[in-house]
Structure 1
Amino acid sequence: MSKQIFKLSSILTAMYFIVPTTAQAHGWVEFPEARQSICYEQGGLWTGNPPNAACAAALQESGTYPFIQRNEVAINIQAPDYLDQNIVKAAIPDGSLCYANDSQKSGLGIAHSDWTRTEIAPGTFEFIFNATAPHNPSYWEIYLTKPGVDVSQTLKWDDLELIQEYGDITVGADKKYRMNVTIPADRSGDAVLYTRWQRIDPVGEGFYNCSDITITGDEQPPVDPDLPYLNKGEQFIPSDISINTPQIGESVKYDVLNQYGEVHNSFSIKITTDNQLDWDRLLASQISGYYETNHSGHVFIGDWHAEMNHYMYFRDNLHANYFNSKDERASGVFSIVAEEIDPQLKAVITPQALQEIEIAEVEHGTVVVLHPHNTQGEFDSVQWAQLSGPAVNVEQGLYSELMVNTEQLDSQGEHELSFRLTVSNNEGSDSSVYGFTVIGEEETPEVPPVEGDWDADKVYVEGDTVTFDGRTWTAKWWTQGEQPGTTGEWGVWR
């Protein structure tokens, strides 16, 4: 198997460094702020005197629980049912939308005219979700009440229209999801912005928030003054392909080509019973989400919506979506890939484990999570084995990820650990090695005396210190004739 070395900056595709948290995703809409968070921040809940009349009524209905649990206005709809909007509506019936049909939080859904409102002008604004426990993969749906809806009454599904969708979005270092949301230019007055954040996993936990807003009627300038700002290309899905064309076990693939016809990036989804009727939206979300996160949204799958003044994916019209790109010379190619079957053995081929990654450094006390998610091909079993370093106790998660808590190691010095991942099926197995270095707590080092200017003819040993080019350098081992500054980050001179 060929080996590829990944740079430390991209190591997160295979390894995540996190502190211990609950496995559940949590959070609330920070802007425009969700009503349960506004009531919490305004105070008065524990003295029974909230300054806002709607918050006071909600407190009388449900007590303090909805506000203490402001990051858990959620419901679990198991996969694949959360992909069926009719099942979602049945699980969260009319009148219960603002509290996700959790009877203990029903105060958040009471009819009232005094909910505190955030003023927002028509046009595009930055929507912010405060994720106290982020979770990916997931997707987003943003709704707005239709014109003429009485927002002082309880919210119903027929009151809403979908104005924005996003697929998997990378959470920021501040644990906040940020995305552009566009309020239609012709809207004004009081409204409710309704947010759905849905995890893509077997449990299917989804978060539902009501943000009370007033649309001021003063249109904001668009993000780009020359809208639509992308060049429209070919259909995303060719007209001879229907939603039922790809068969279970096959994969749908989309290659994004640069101006030279070279593959810039490839995206694929394997067709299963869970996604058989939604593969197009999920594939489009992968593509648009990647380019939104990594390339300033220079590629989007969908089409320009003139009335809403933004790009969107038309989920109920397969062939109404197109490849849109900043570079008019770029293009996209859709294909269906047959299930990988050995033509002689008629069996699934041997899986390929993740390729070996470059050793990374983590701080002492970090929980290191090693994932086998990018393994190529189907596999029946996953095994982890420690190859080097001090023996550590590990845990294996629900999705076969290995969790190593480095707190158990000596806090002083460096510890190099490595683990072998083995994936296998009936046709064979494959292995790969993950390695990382745990950096101990810093001690105040003894600064060795400077030996003087570096001399190419002189022999230096570990700990010798010289000056060169206005900087001080320390030798990490025996060296002669190697000029400081030319040996790299991990070379003899540091």
Structure 2
Amino acid sequence: MKANKNILKVAVGMAMLSGLPTAANAHGWSEFPSARQNTCYEQGGVWSGNPPNAACAQAKEISGTYPFVQRNEYAKNITDYNNMAAVKAAIPDGTLCYANDPQKKGMGAPHTAWTRTELNTGTFEFVFNATAPHNPSFWEFYLTKPGVDLSKALAWGDLDLIQTEGNIPVSGGKYRMNVTIPSDRSGDAILFVRWQRDDAAGEGFYNCSDITIVGGETPPPEPTPEPDLVKGDLYIPVNFAGLDLGDTVKYDIINKYGEVARSFDIVVDGSNANDWERLLASEINGWHAEFKDGAVFIGDWHEEMSHYMYFQNDPSRNFFNSKDGSASGVISVIDGDDGNVEPLTGDIYELVKSDNVVNAGDKVVIATSEAANLTQTQGSVVSIQNNGTASIVVDTSAITQNETLSFVANAINSERAETFTFEVIAEDSGVDPDPTPDPDPTPDPDGDAWDVAKTYLGGEIVTYDAQNWKAQWWIQGGDNPKAVYQKDQWGVWRPAN
């Protein structure tokens, strides 16, 4: 199937205008079990006097207060982040607990007195405090091997990968996951957590949590879990054709009646060309885990870990698995390039850390090589200046809460267009990127009623069927908000109270 590919490949750039603040709030830490830098921060003594814990005191002596002030940004940008050799080169042995940031070196210095969190073998709820949530992203959990000398600085060879998770939704500013400590582990250990963003910059966060493992009351479940899904065909067929940038990969879930139960898709671009398979599988698995009790999973059963997982480095292990053996998955490609459109070049302005995050009040510049009109499609309404030129300015002064803004740029002299997105952090808004608006239990009868003919932007609230509904992105027409929500709880209309 051919799609109209008059797509403007806009080189979208963003920059803070002179005189404006450039620091963006970031990004979080392991809350339970507590990351090393967070434990030292909460114990006090980091700004005056000495920390009560000897290991924290040593860290302060080596690095000063910076590791504690920056407890939410133990991070490293690695563009080739799916290549573990590149990750290990960027964060070499001995630097893992501070993500190879020389200013935080004290947090990785060898010491035996780090305060430890006691954990039982079996499953516990891991909690990550996200001061600025980032999705899509994925997680890796490592545990020190039995017998590792914890009096030395942590090295990659000291660790076993015990669990991976895909794109986990944030709730109330927290990421929560069930993590399993193997039953054959005991004593002091380090839980090393990697939270990796799926973005062009490759920003990843690395936290060390010092723990003590005991037997306790949460042994691995008995009997040992067994596969409960029926294995179908390979997720990516052996003869699957090569892709070009701009192509859309579509994956249909076909039910036992031969009907399309749900479709998922991803546009292949420069940021995901080498990882679109995992990203698409993560979306499929995440949706079915959230709404269908895991009725479908892309991947395979892992005998040693006793659960299903996606095998990123071994495509031959990834299958369509379903509770209904007569269901199936069908992959297809929508050709996104007719070969006649030249990319529109332009100057690229980089944000701080290149992570597309700005502070409320910053001005963001979109620079293209020909004039374009900019239309906002998601988020609270902001001011767009110099529209219709090749240098458009977005003023975020009106933003009062953490949220994501999306826009479409349409070239004036052609049919080319491009969508782009960035996050805005409001300093006093707390950690939730999409807080619930002030609810009114009784919708205002004089408020704006939903109008099928009206265009709504993300964040706007309407009344329908005696209930308030909030638009998640740009929408015009279609089914009423209640019907949309009943069909898909992740759709454009969701309850506002």
Give the TM-score, by structure 2 length: 0.65
* Cα 1:261/1:404, change in 2 over 3 Å: farther
For each residue in 1:171-203, what CA deviation from the matched residue of structure 2 results, as whole angstroms up to 9, or x when unmatched? 11x211112222223222222111111222233
The aligned residue for residue 98 of structure 1 is: 97
* Cα 1:368/1:73, change in 2 over 3 Å: closer
- The answer on whether the counterparts of 1:239 and 1:319 sit within 8 Å (CA) in structure 2 is no
Residues 1:56 and 2:57 are matched in the alignment: yes
Structure of greater Rg: 1
2:244 to 238, 244, 248: 248
Q: C-alpha distance in 2, partners of 1:301/1:401?
A: 42
- The answer on whether the counterparts of 2:122 and 2:180 sit within 8 Å (CA) in structure 1 is yes
* Cα 1:238/1:429, change in 2 over 3 Å: closer
Residues 1:316 and 2:316 are matched in the alignment: no
The aligned residue for residue 207 of structure 1 is: 205
- The answer on whether the counterparts of 1:42 and 1:50 sit within 8 Å (CA) in structure 2 is yes
* Cα 1:52/1:303, change in 2 over 3 Å: same
For each residue in 1:268-314, what CA deviation from the matched residue of structure 2 results, as whole angstroms up to 9, or x when unmatched? 33445554443332222222233334444443222222222332222
Q: Mind listing any 5+ residue stretches in structure 1 that lack a counterpart?
A: 1-19, 350-366, 370-378, 409-418, 433-440, 443-470, 478-485
Percent pairwise identity: 52
Residues 1:334 and 2:331 are matched in the alignment: yes
For 2:114, the aligned partner's letter is: W
Following superposition, the deviation at residue 39 of structure 1 comes to 0.9
For 1:176, the aligned partner's letter is: K
For each residue in 1:222-260, what CA deviation from the matched residue of structure 2 results, as whole angstroms up to 9, or x when unmatched? 689782363132144356247xx5233344432223343
Cα-Cα RMSD? 4.3
* Cα 1:474/1:269, change in 2 over 3 Å: closer
- 1:231-310 aligned within 5 A: 231-238=229-236, 240-241=238-239, 245-249=241-245, 250-272=247-269, 274-310=271-307
For 1:156, the aligned partner's letter is: A
Q: C-alpha distance in 1, partners of 2:415/2:466?
A: 40
Following superposition, the deviation at residue 45 of structure 1 comes to 2.2
- 1:382-461 aligned within 5 A: 383-384=373-374, 393-394=383-384, 405-406=397-398, 421=408, 423-424=410-411, 428=415
The aligned residue for residue 42 of structure 2 is: 41
Q: C-alpha distance in 1, partners of 2:84/2:33?
A: 25
- The answer on whether the counterparts of 2:376 and 2:408 sit within 8 Å (CA) in structure 1 is no
- The answer on whether the counterparts of 1:124 and 1:220 sit within 8 Å (CA) in structure 2 is yes
Q: C-alpha distance in 1, partners of 2:279/2:399?
A: 38
Q: C-alpha distance in 1, partners of 2:152/2:376?
A: 59
For 1:118, the aligned partner's letter is: T
* Cα 1:331/1:95, change in 2 over 3 Å: same
The aligned residue for residue 494 of structure 2 is: none
- The answer on whether the counterparts of 1:246 and 1:271 sit within 8 Å (CA) in structure 2 is no
Q: C-alpha distance in 1, partners of 2:465/2:149?
A: 70
Following superposition, the deviation at residue 51 of structure 1 comes to 2.2
The aligned residue for residue 347 of structure 1 is: 340
The aligned residue for residue 169 of structure 1 is: 168
The aligned residue for residue 67 of structure 1 is: 68
Following superposition, the deviation at residue 404 of structure 1 comes to 5.6
For 1:383, the aligned partner's letter is: N
- The answer on whether the counterparts of 2:288 and 2:296 sit within 8 Å (CA) in structure 1 is yes
- The answer on whether the counterparts of 2:235 and 2:329 sit within 8 Å (CA) in structure 1 is no
SS of the residue aligned with 1:83? Answer: coil
- The answer on whether the counterparts of 1:62 and 1:106 sit within 8 Å (CA) in structure 2 is yes
* Cα 1:56/1:333, change in 2 over 3 Å: same
SS of the residue aligned with 1:152? Answer: coil
Q: Mind listing any 5+ residue stretches in structure 2 that lack a counterpart?
A: 1-20, 343-359, 363-368, 387-391, 401-405, 420-436, 449-463, 469-497
Q: C-alpha distance in 1, partners of 2:443/2:163?
A: 55
- The answer on whether the counterparts of 2:302 and 2:309 sit within 8 Å (CA) in structure 1 is yes
Q: C-alpha distance in 1, partners of 2:249/2:107?
A: 42
* Cα 1:158/1:61, change in 2 over 3 Å: same
Residues 1:31 and 2:32 are matched in the alignment: yes
For 2:335, the aligned partner's letter is: E
Q: C-alpha distance in 1, partners of 2:239/2:220?
A: 35
- 1:338-377 aligned within 5 A: 339-342=335-338, 346-347=339-340
Q: C-alpha distance in 2, partners of 1:151/1:49?
A: 23
Following superposition, the deviation at residue 322 of structure 1 comes to 2.3
- 1:177-192 aligned within 5 A: 177-192=175-190
* Cα 1:476/1:75, change in 2 over 3 Å: closer
Q: C-alpha distance in 1, partners of 2:444/2:269?
A: 57
* Structure of higher RCO (CA pairs closer than 8 Å, 6+ residues apart): 2
Q: C-alpha distance in 1, partners of 2:335/2:55?
A: 56
* Cα 1:306/1:39, change in 2 over 3 Å: same
For each residue in 1:440-480, what CA deviation from the matched residue of structure 2 results, as whole angstroms up to 9, or x when unmatched? x99xxxxxxxxxxxxxxxxxxxxxxxxxxxx9997899xxx
For 1:286, the aligned partner's letter is: E
The aligned residue for residue 455 of structure 2 is: none
* Cα 1:75/1:422, change in 2 over 3 Å: closer
Q: C-alpha distance in 1, partners of 2:308/2:376?
A: 48
For each residue in 1:373-410, what CA deviation from the matched residue of structure 2 results, as whole angstroms up to 9, or x when unmatched? xxxxxx998632599xxx973479xxx996665479xx
Residues 1:82 and 2:84 are matched in the alignment: no
* Cα 1:291/1:420, change in 2 over 3 Å: closer
Q: C-alpha distance in 1, partners of 2:443/2:97?
A: 62
Q: C-alpha distance in 2, partners of 1:273/1:386?
A: 23
Q: C-alpha distance in 2, partners of 1:319/1:235?
A: 11
The aligned residue for residue 151 of structure 2 is: 152
- The answer on whether the counterparts of 1:139 and 1:197 sit within 8 Å (CA) in structure 2 is yes
For 1:161, the aligned partner's letter is: D
- The answer on whether the counterparts of 1:25 and 1:135 sit within 8 Å (CA) in structure 2 is no
- The answer on whether the counterparts of 1:233 and 1:331 sit within 8 Å (CA) in structure 2 is no
Q: C-alpha distance in 2, partners of 1:257/1:22?
A: 47
- The answer on whether the counterparts of 1:284 and 1:301 sit within 8 Å (CA) in structure 2 is yes
For each residue in 1:139-165, what CA deviation from the matched residue of structure 2 results, as whole angstroms up to 9, or x when unmatched? 222212222222221111111222222
- The answer on whether the counterparts of 1:40 and 1:67 sit within 8 Å (CA) in structure 2 is yes
For 1:255, the aligned partner's letter is: D
- The answer on whether the counterparts of 1:248 and 1:273 sit within 8 Å (CA) in structure 2 is no
* Cα 1:229/1:88, change in 2 over 3 Å: same
Give the TM-score, by structure 1 length: 0.65
Following superposition, the deviation at residue 102 of structure 1 comes to 0.8
Following superposition, the deviation at residue 35 of structure 1 comes to 0.6
- The answer on whether the counterparts of 1:300 and 1:324 sit within 8 Å (CA) in structure 2 is yes
Q: C-alpha distance in 1, partners of 2:60/2:32?
A: 23
Q: C-alpha distance in 1, partners of 2:248/2:443?
A: 56
SS of the residue aligned with 2:281? Answer: helix
For 2:225, the aligned partner's letter is: L
